[in-house]
Amino acid sequence: MEIKPINSYNKMSKLAAEMVAEQIINKPNTVLGLATGSTPVGMYRELVRMHREGDLDLSQVKTFNLDEYLGLSPEHSQSYHYYMYENFFKYVNIREENIHIPKGNAEDPVQECLDYEKKIKGLGGIDLQILGIGVNGHVGFNEPNINLEARTHIIQLSNETITANSRFFKNLDEVPKKAITMGMATIMKSKKIILMAWGAEKKKPILKVISGPIATEVPASLLQVHNDVILIVDKKIYSFSSAINSLSYPDKI
């Protein structure tokens, strides 16, 4: 795992966007795995800026989002569909048919999960996956548990996640209790992964990802066995403990 401690949210966003852009320039028909939440908003803003300035053509890019709340229609203002269009898709030239987000209001959600997994496989898997991290160490919506599901599935959200995500809803009761999420195997099969973490509340899960044991109770800790993960992390929450001395990071960003 390569660790890049960064001292401002804007710099983190720029660095992540530059890495995404580089991937797209090297492989114009890249299959991108995308994340939602407040962390990647700045990265999307940067990508939109690059596109507007003529430096980034996304016309051949294909995207797969990590997750979606079960029961929310794409038009719902808190759905991840809505988020993706408002923060990114509306402003760039990714073709509609190349955008994939699990349908939260699918008639048959189990079939939706199977179809989603099939589509990812059909396009050759994900080249670059962007991840955020939940306060409890979840990625996508893979919640801490004694067992994790490998592939795209329906998951019961933990109370911790429901509480954390209630900041986007009118009240706690409005937060959906279930979601569709890529599984950990779906994510781990991505050729390259960028995990971004910003803010004090991410210190605990990030330290577990960097130096903790690999445990299904911290789903993001599984990333330690992936051979191409870049962690772009808030410098303030990054502790230079002896356990992580062997890991590489740049001198200055």
Q: Could you confirm whether 136 is annotated as catalytic?
A: yes
- Structure tokens given for 113: 């999960």
Binding of ligand GLP by 36 (CB under 6 A): yes
Binding of ligand GLP by 176 (CB under 6 A): no
Binding of ligand GLP by 205 (CB under 6 A): no
The candidate with the shortest Cα–Cα distance to 106, out of 31, 162, 172, 179, is: 179
Binding of ligand GLP by 194 (CB under 6 A): no
Nearer to ligand GLP (CB atom), residue 38 or residue 156: 38
Q: Could you confirm whether 67 is annotated as catalytic?
A: yes
Binding of ligand GLP by 38 (CB under 6 A): yes
Q: Minimum distance between the CB of residue 37 and ligand GLP, rounded to whole angstroms?
A: 3
- C-alpha 160/C-alpha 13 separation (Å) is 26
Nearer to ligand GLP (CB atom), residue 27 or residue 41: 41
Q: Could you confirm whether 153 is annotated as catalytic?
A: no
Q: Could you confirm whether 138 is annotated as catalytic?
A: yes
Among 43, 65, 67, 194, binds ligand GLP (CB under 6 A): 67
Binding of ligand GLP by 161 (CB under 6 A): yes
Q: Minimum distance between the CB of residue 68 and ligand GLP, rounded to whole angstroms?
A: 9
Among 109, 134, 176, 183, binds ligand GLP (CB under 6 A): 134
Binding of ligand GLP by 187 (CB under 6 A): no
Binding of ligand GLP by 37 (CB under 6 A): yes
The catalytically annotated residue of 81, 100, 138, 153 is 138
Binding of ligand GLP by 190 (CB under 6 A): no
Among 43, 66, 94, 120, binds ligand GLP (CB under 6 A): 66
Task: Look up tokens 């004694």; give the residue.
Answer: 146
Q: What is the dihedral of CA 55, 62, 135, 19, to 10 degrees?
A: -30
Residues that bind ligand GLP (CB under 6 A): 35-39, 66-67, 132-134, 140-141, 161, 165
